[in-house]
A and B are shown apart, each in its own frame.
Chain A
């Protein structure tokens, strides 16, 4: 059992608050992705869990044991670094077996586990090579194999795919998911790539300015973002926001149309809808088309709705051109509402 508990963790660098009051529970064998833009504190949080950074305050527990005072080697973790960190003076075999030899495992165990993890990562034929003789993708495989060979309770990955080219990244992504599911390890994976996060994660923690804005399953994060930041960060193109003015009986007026929304005391709130959740109809949001991008499968249409930029993903069979006036009808159960001041989601 390797449940991870992060309690009130905060980190301050000199005057800069990198993390403030982080609370997170990651269950055993869960694949948790920390997602956020650079500088949001996701790597700092990972390094605190690894023991490469000390938290200014707070506690970290792994498998029911408080570990934030222990050195990295005693935490039951293994880590995969962004730039691979494959030891250049050792062969692939020695790299993968390094951790096991440090643990003074019998040579038979080292041999067996190195060979097993190497074949898992499809690098058996490279065991005698040095890191200088490997490609970036192969180095990444060595780094993952080296972490897996430790059979850790928790595997920590810091943007492991970001240095690979696009095609290789897709391939490794699919492979990582399979390998980690099989290894039954708890995994924490840091990335700024929302597609990577959506495709890999059991749960995503979206981070912004040193705080976790939302921690939920990928579909929940996508469908029901807890705040405008999440709605705008996830999805490509991101969610659209339109100002909604109060009408009577929880009705809100949005770009010339009325929709029933939350019971809020505010005079103005934000109406939000995903670009793919609108269709052209007789009635709907008043939209003036500014730009049309035909992408084959879909038509990306950038419009002006209620004085704001609004993007719609429409059927590519439609005849739409810049300057057209459209009525865009949102799918009613996909409409979300956000408080204009706190930017938090509002319950209907």
Chain B
């Protein structure tokens, strides 16, 4: 009797801690985003005034200002171009590597997996200066393609790891069955593997897109005329009034959030959590 009582109270306490942790984690992410939203949709007076309101005024003046801001649209287009090139390159290069990691045994496979992650170990500021010098030498400085190359380098490790986990999730027997049914390695991939991993590949592509979209340091260092949105906003918001900083931040955060939300299932899969 007493044990069952203490058990229920332990379970109840456990649930409480669990619920509280979840709420705390959610708040940690959601509160800043909510405040960003409130301030974006408030008039300049409300943003710099006190006390703060926690309900937005639905004043779109700040956003409208950005829509008409010169250079804004071309920066947005640059961002999309760079992100799109990054997306294509990182899948074209990353997916075959992921396939090889999942299907073939080769010498140094474990080391190779480690090295993929190691590319993220060097801070970008360390690489940016030599890269800039090199890009100037070959004429890639201040170009969309040059910046996309740097972003691809940043996105490839994730593309490789996500596709590796996708390919590993497809039983090798399915491929073997296709070979015994008249397929070559290539047509087997085309008719059996590709249709099965296409949603995951799409997700991994979107993730690469977001990495490029969010990247600011390389973009700021490597471009002058052809700024991407992040670099453009960084340059201009620094000297802007507070309400415009909020609105600029909002413009940057929302697309990334939407994309990540769309592909969350596959990102979980990458970290080894079952994606059912």
Which residues of A come within 8 Å of B, CB atoms? 50-52, 71-73, 77-79, 81-83, 85, 87-89, 98-99, 102-103, 146, 150, 156
Q: Which residues of A have CB within 8 Å of B180?
A: 50-52, 72-73, 77-79, 156
A78 to B179: give the CA distance in the assembly, Å. 9
B121 at the interface (CB under 8 A from A): no
B174 touches A73 (CB 8 A): no
Number of CB contacts from chain A to chain B under 8 A:
58
Chain A residue contacts of B173, Cβ below 8 A = 81-83, 85
Instruction: Select one of B171, B179, B181, B184 contacting A150, CB under 8 A.
Output: B181
Do residues B176 and A73 form an inter-chain contact, with CB atoms below 8 A? no
CB distance from A74 to the nearest CB of B (A): 9
Contacts of B176 in A (CB 8 A): 52, 72, 79, 81, 85
Contacts of A83 in B (CB 8 A): 171, 173
Report the minimum CB–CB distance from B11 to chain A (whole Å): 35
Q: Does B183 contact A (CB under 8 A)?
A: yes
Q: Bound state CA distance, A146 and B171, in angstroms?
A: 18
- List 21 interface pairs A-B (beta carbons < 8 Å), by A numbering: A51-B180, A52-B176, A52-B179, A52-B180, A72-B176, A72-B180, A73-B182, A78-B180, A79-B176, A81-B177, A83-B171, A85-B174, A87-B177, A88-B174, A89-B196, A98-B191, A99-B182, A102-B182, A102-B183, A102-B191, A156-B180
Q: Are A87 and B192 in contact (CB under 8 A)?
A: yes
Q: Which residues of B contact A150 (CB under 8 A)?
A: 181-182
In addition to A51-B180, A79-B176, 20 A-B residue pairs with Cβ atoms within 8 Å of each other are A52-B176, A52-B179, A71-B184, A72-B180, A73-B183, A73-B184, A77-B180, A81-B176, A83-B173, A85-B176, A85-B177, A87-B177, A88-B174, A99-B182, A102-B181, A102-B182, A102-B183, A102-B191, A103-B182, A150-B181
Task: Find residues 161-195 in chain B having any chain A CB closer than 8 Å to their own CB.
Answer: 171, 173-174, 176-184, 187, 191-192, 195
A71 to B180, CA, bound (A): 9
Distance (Å) between the CB of A62 and the closest chain B CB?
Answer: 13
Q: Which residue of A lies closest to B185 (CB)?
A: A71
Residues of A within 8 A of B191 (CB): 98, 102
Q: In the bound complex, how far is the Cα of B184 from the Cα of A20, in angstroms?
A: 29
User: What secondary structure prevails in chain B residues at the interface with A?
Assistant: helix
Give Cα A58 to B187, complex, Å.
29
Using Cβ atoms and an 8 Å threshold, which residues of chain B touch A146? 177, 181
Of A72, A82, A88, A89, the residue contacting B179 (CB under 8 A) is A72
Determine if B179 and A71 form an interchain contact, defined as CB atoms under 8 angstroms apart. yes
The number of chain B residues touching the other chain, given as a range, is: 10 to 19
Asked if B195 and A89 make an inter-chain contact with CB atoms under 8 angstroms apart, the answer reads: yes
CA distance A156 to B177 in the complex (A): 11
A323 to B195, CA, bound (A): 68
Pick the contact of A102 from B171, B187, B196 — CB < 8 Å? B187
Q: Which residues of B contact A73 (CB under 8 A)?
A: 179-184
B230 to chain A, nearest CB (A): 38
Task: Enumerate B19-78 residues with CB–CB distance to A below 8 Å.
Answer: none
Instruction: Give Cα A71–Cα B171 distance, bound, in whole angstroms.
Output: 20
Nearest CB in chain B: distance from A156 CB, A:
8
Which chain A residues lie closer than 8 Å to B178 at the CB level? 87, 98
Residues of A within 8 A of B187 (CB): 102
Closest to A47 in B: B176
Contacts of B196 in A (CB 8 A): 88-89
Which chain A residues border B192 with CB–CB below 8 Å?
A: 87
Measured in the bound complex, the distance between the Cα atoms of B172 and A82 in whole Å is 12
- Closest chain B CB from A108 CB (angstroms): 18
Chain A residues positioned under 8 Å from B171 (CB to CB):
83, 85
Give Cα A155–Cα B171 distance, bound, in whole angstroms.
21
Closest residue of B by beta carbon distance from A74: B182
Q: How far is the CA of A224 from the CA of B184 in the complex (A)?
A: 45
Q: Which of A50, A77, A78, A98 has the most chain B CB atoms closer than 10 A to its own CB?
A: A98
Q: Please name all residues of chain A whose beta carbon is closer than 8 Å to the beta carbon of B181 when the two chains form the complex.
A: 73, 78, 98-99, 102, 146, 150
A106–B181 CA distance with the chains assembled, in angstroms: 16
Contact, CB under 8 Å: A51 / B177: no
B115 to chain A, nearest CB (A): 24
- Nearest CB in chain B: distance from A91 CB, A: 13
Most buried by B among A77, A79, A146: A79
Q: Please name the residue on chain B nearest to A79 by beta carbon.
A: B180
- Give CA–CA (A279, B191) in the complex, Å: 63
Question: Closest approach, in angstroms, between the C-beta of B218 and any C-beta of chain A?
Answer: 39
Residues of A within 8 A of B195 (CB): 89
- Shortest distance between the CB of A332 and any CB in chain B (Å): 50
Complex: A98 Cα to B191 Cα, angstroms? 10
Shortest CB–CB separation between residue B176 and chain A, in angstroms? 5
User: Which residues of chain B are near A156, meaning CB under 8 Å?
Assistant: 180
Give the docked Cα–Cα distance between A92 and B178 (Å): 15
Please give, as numbers and ranges, the residues of chain B lying within 8 Å of A88 by CB-CB distance: 174, 196
